Amino acid sequence: MRLRHRLALLAAAPILALATGCTNPFTPATPEKPPPGDIVIPVYSSTDALLSTIASAMSSRGASGRIAYQDALADSTGADTHAFYAFHPPTVVDAWRLETGLTPPDTWTKPLEMKCYDYLGQLDPGFTYIFTWAPDDQSGLDPPPTDTDAMVHRHYSLVAKSADGNTVKSIAIGYADLYMQKVGARWYLYRWEDRIDATYAANNPDDVDAVCMGRRRLNSTSGGL
C-alpha cells in the first residue's frame, strides 16, 4: 500500500514541479506590436469573407494588408490543391506588347501577383485606396457553388482618393471571373480571369488610368510602362 502511495506521489511530482515555479512549458510567444496604419483582419471562412478580405487588403497597402492578400491566394502544396494564376484579356496583352516591345510572362503566378501588389501600393502615395466589388451585370448567374468549389463573376474598382477628398483617381477597373477552392476550413482564390469594362472606357475616354487589373499586372513587370 505504501508503495502505491509512493508511486502516486512520484506521478504527481511533475505536476507539482510545474505549479511551483519551473518554467511554464505552455507559455506562448510574445507577439510583436503591429505597425501603425490600417490593420486588415483576414477572414477566409466563406467566399464572401474571402472577397471582402481581398478588398480590404487591396485598400490597405500596409504590411498586414500584404499578408492578408498573400494568404488569400492559393498556393499549391499537393496534387489536390490549386496554385494561383491570373489571366489577362488577350487584347490587353497584345496592346501592352505593342507599346512596350516586351514579352509578357508565360503564366501569372503568385510571386508575380505579390510584386504587382507592391507596385500598386506605390502608385499614389498620400492617397487613400478604396477597392470595391460589385455585381457583374454583363455575365449570367454565378454557377451554383459546391462544398469545396465556387466561381463568381464580379465587377471591381480600385480608386485613389486624396486626403482632402477632392481628387479621386481610378487605378484599375474591370470585371473578373473568380475561382475559389475550399481547403480544410478556409477558402482560397486560385484563378482570376480578367475582363475589360468596355462601358466605363467608352464613357470616360479621357481617363487614361482607367485600365483593368490585367494591364496593371503587366505594367508592374515593366516598371510602370
Partner 1 sequence: MPRPTRLTLLLVPLTVSVLTQALPGRAQQAPSVRFAFADTTLLRDTLGLSFVRLFPVADSLQITPDTLRALMIRYRFPMSRILFLADSIGVTVDSVGPFMDRQKLNPLAGGTAGRTTNTFTYTSGYDIQRTSNTWTNGSQYRLQRGQLYLTNATNIELQRILSGSVTSLRQNREATTEAGLTVSKQLSFGARSYQLRFFSADPGAPTQDENKSEYGFTSRALAGGKRLSSELNVRSGYLDDNSVAVIKRGFSGSLDGRVRYNNPNVLTHDLSGSVNGNLSHSRPPTYPAEISTNDLSTNLRGNLVVLPNSPVRLNVNYGLRNTRVETPLDTTHVNRILTRNNSADGTLRLRVDNDRYLDLSGDVNRSRSLTNSSTDGGARAVLRWSLIGWSVDASYGDSRGTQVFFRQRATGGYDENDLNRAADATLARNFGPRIIGRIVLSIGLDRFRYVAWADSATPPTPRDAYRQSYRTEMNYNPSERLSSRIALQVSLNRTINIAAATTGSNTDTRSYRSEWSWTYRLMHSLTVTQNNQIQADYLQYPFRPTNNTLSLSYNNNTSLSAALPGNLSIDVSHTASQAPRGSYTIQPDGLNSLQLSDETQNYALTSSVRYAPFSGLSIHVDPRYTTSDRSGTSNGVQAHQRTDKRLDFTGGVDVNLHVGAKGLLTGRVGRTYTDQRTIGYTNNLPVPTPRSETDYWNGNLQLTWNL
The yes or no reply on residue 78 touching partner 1 (CB under 8 A) is: yes
> 21-40 mask for partner 1 (x: CB under 8 A)?
----xxxxx-xxxxx---xx
The yes or no reply on residue 109 touching partner 1 (CB under 8 A) is: yes
Concatenated DSSP letters of 188-205: EEEEEEEEE-HHHHHH-T
CB closer to partner 1 out of 42 and 89: 42
The yes or no reply on residue 135 touching partner 1 (CB under 8 A) is: no
DSSP 162: -
The residues in 40-69 that bind partner 1, with binding defined as CB under 8 A, are 40-42, 62-64, 66-68
CB 40 within 8 A of CB 58: no
Q: Nearest 5 degrees, angle CA 219-CA 220-CA 225? A: 35
CB closer to partner 1 out of 26 and 98: 26
In this structure, the strands spanning 128-135 and 149-161 are antiparallel
Among 46, 49, 93, 110, binds partner 1 (CB under 8 A): 110
Kindly tell me the sign of the dihedral angle through the C-alpha atoms of 164, 169, 175, 179. negative
List the beta bridge partners of residue 179.
151, 191
The minimum distance between CB 200 and partner 1, in angstroms, equals 27
List interacting residues with partner 1 (CB under 8 A).
4, 7-8, 11, 14-15, 25-29, 31-35, 39-42, 62-64, 66-68, 70-71, 75-79, 83, 107, 109-111, 114
